Amino acid sequence: MSDKNATITFDNQSIDLPILKGTFGDTLIDINPLGKLGDFTYDPGFTSTAACESKITFIDGDRGVLLYRGYPIDQLAEHSDYLEICYLLLNGELPNKEQIKAFTKNVTLHTMVHQQIYQFFNGFRRDAHPMAVMVGVVGALSAFYHDALDITDPKHRETAAYRLIAKMPTIAAMCYRYYNGLPFVQPQNEYSYAENFLHMMFSMPSEKWVSNPVLAKAMDRIFILHADHEQNASTSTVRLAGSTGANPFACISAGIAALWGPAHGGANEAVLNMLHQIGDVSRIPEFLKRARDKNDSFRLMGFGHRVYKNYDPRAKIMRQTCHDVLAEVGVQNDPLFKLAMELERIALEDPYFVEKKLYPNVDFYSGITLSALGIPTNMFTVIFALARTVGWISHWSEMVSDPSFRIGRPRQLYTGAATRDFVSIAKRSS
């Protein structure tokens, strides 16, 4: 809080609005007093609006900073692993040995899905987009778990968190296996979280699956980098859905749906599609010209960000991970990666991109990395949703555990018709 006020004056009145200060001194003006006077603010896309208070993640777009519970993302990506990050985001502190052992066991023991869920998949066309299947199956989980849906009960919230974190890799892998006509693979408790996912994705009944520690580490790092990102579009969707008292599975399903859009979590799939569309280094200038053209809807996918006006700190780490995977898989000279590097180099020198501060975001490299891991483009956003589930559930839990939380209900600027009387069809002009 702060002891200062902001004063706004309009219609011959002055209103004092409290100034709020965050941990890093970011200044926010509390506009609640306006509402009490029947006045609203107008901010389509919430570019200048904080919808909540949170202690989970901090982003500084100008300095390219991302902190999970105060820890810099580069340190976490270097020294931690995804399940430890899950504990950190959910509980606010890094776990000690006993805590991470218990947490890992709880997640591990929830990785299987109810056998009836297998029937859901048979209802989908084989060529259904895996995100469509994911939205449906995750939303339907609440049909199975009546025993822990009281959002006011901390134990129920904890159980829902375990179930969602544990089952997302199993469901994601099932989406991939079903699309490709392959038998589902059961989770194996001997594997780490990332290894288990790769095992469920790629193991074949006809041969022994062997884990590759470099690829498993890269997969775990991709999960870490995508785990949370404060009030992005899908997290805000989860919070708004949760503010109505909806169960956590329904809220996470809403978040998955919001993430699907190409401007958000669908960007990594869109990056690969764009690179294939460009096809050759010689065509980069043509596409940069289109990206600069206001009359052309083409956007350079994987570039720009609503908050980061400096380099996306995740992109730096993702770029190195991308190199590691390409080297391990032996495709350093992958034409798509070389095209991506040349596109990055040219775009970062282009005056339009420099002036508008459009830098590569995490999605620019994650798509190429996932492709090198053998994951098809239609699974990229599914993996983003898998990783982001812990962020969504952390924000949902932070909100519903605050006794003062209220249903979210944005207002509008109405510019439609003024009041008018009904006209019978006989009297309407033809």
Rule CB under 6 A: is residue 68 a binding residue for ligand SDX? Answer: no
CB 218 within 8 A of CB 373: yes
Rule CB under 6 A: is residue 363 a binding residue for ligand SDX? Answer: yes
Rule CB under 6 A: is residue 76 a binding residue for ligand SDX? Answer: no
Q: Cα–Cα distance between 204 and 224 in angstroms, integer? A: 27
The residue range among 19-27, 89-97, 206-214, 354-362 that interacts with ligand SDX, by the rule CB under 6 A, is 354-362
**267-284 as b/e, with b when 16 or more CB fall inside 10 Å?**
bbbbbbebbeebeeeeeb
Rule CB under 6 A: is residue 316 a binding residue for ligand SDX? Answer: no
Rule CB under 6 A: is residue 317 a binding residue for ligand SDX? Answer: no
Catalytic residue among 81, 220, 350, 363: 363
Q: How far is the CB of 255 from ligand SDX (least distance, A)?
A: 10
Rule CB under 6 A: is residue 383 a binding residue for ligand SDX? Answer: no
Q: What is the DSSP string of 209-249?
A: ----HHHHHHHHHHHHHTS--SS-HHHHHHHHHHTTT--HH
Select from 343, 372, 379 the least CA-distant residue to 129: 379
Rule CB under 6 A: is residue 275 a binding residue for ligand SDX? Answer: no
Among 156, 177, 306, 323, binds ligand SDX (CB under 6 A): 306
User: Length of the chain, please?
Assistant: 430
The size of the interface with ligand SDX (CB under 6 A), counted in residues, is 20
CB 62 within 8 A of CB 310: yes
Q: Cα–Cα distance between 305 and 203 in angstroms, integer? A: 36
- Burial of 87 from C-beta contacts in 10 A (0-12 / 13-18 / 19+): buried
Q: Of 120 and 303, which CB lies nearer to ligand SDX in the complex structure?
A: 303
Rule CB under 6 A: is residue 156 a binding residue for ligand SDX? Answer: no
- Judge whether 129 counts as a catalytic residue: no
Residue nearest to ligand SDX (CB): 304
The residue range among 116-124, 246-254, 293-301, 328-336 that interacts with ligand SDX, by the rule CB under 6 A, is 293-301
- Non-local CB neighbours of 188 within 8 Å, separated by 6+ positions: 196, 199
Among 109, 143, 263, 354, binds ligand SDX (CB under 6 A): 263
Select from 324, 330, 379 the least CA-distant residue to 197: 379
Rule CB under 6 A: is residue 302 a binding residue for ligand SDX? Answer: yes
Q: How far is the CB of 41 from ligand SDX (least distance, A)?
A: 19
Q: Of 191 and 364, which CB lies nearer to ligand SDX in the complex structure?
A: 364
Helix (H) or strand (E) holding 322: helix 313-329
Rule CB under 6 A: is residue 356 a binding residue for ligand SDX? Answer: yes
The residue range among 29-37, 62-70, 259-267, 406-414 that interacts with ligand SDX, by the rule CB under 6 A, is 259-267
Say how many Å lie between the first and final Cα of the chain, rounded.
Answer: 60
Q: Which of residues 187-246 bind ligand SDX (CB under 6 A)?
A: 229, 232
Q: How far is the CB of 282 from ligand SDX (least distance, A)?
A: 20
Rule CB under 6 A: is residue 305 a binding residue for ligand SDX? Answer: yes
Rule CB under 6 A: is residue 358 a binding residue for ligand SDX? Answer: yes
Count of Cβ atoms closer than 10 Å to residue 136 Cβ: 17
Rule CB under 6 A: is residue 340 a binding residue for ligand SDX? Answer: no
Q: Cα–Cα distance between 428 and 430 in angstroms, integer? A: 6
CB 100 within 8 A of CB 156: no
- Give how far Cα 8 sits from Cα of 29, 31, 33, 240, Å: 11, 10, 11, 29
- Judge whether 305 counts as a catalytic residue: yes
The residue range among 177-185, 273-281, 305-313, 398-406 that interacts with ligand SDX, by the rule CB under 6 A, is 305-313
Q: Cα–Cα distance between 111 and 190 in angstroms, integer? A: 12
Q: Of 361 and 369, which CB lies nearer to ligand SDX in the complex structure?
A: 361
- Give how far Cα 158 sits from Cα of 103, 155, 165, 243, 363, Å: 11, 5, 11, 18, 30
Q: Of 113 and 135, which CB lies nearer to ligand SDX in the complex structure?
A: 135
The residue range among 30-38, 87-95, 172-180, 296-304 that interacts with ligand SDX, by the rule CB under 6 A, is 296-304
Catalytic residue among 110, 226, 229, 305: 305
Query: Contact residues for ligand SDX (CB under 6 A)?
Result: 229, 232, 263-265, 267, 291, 299-307, 356, 358, 361, 363
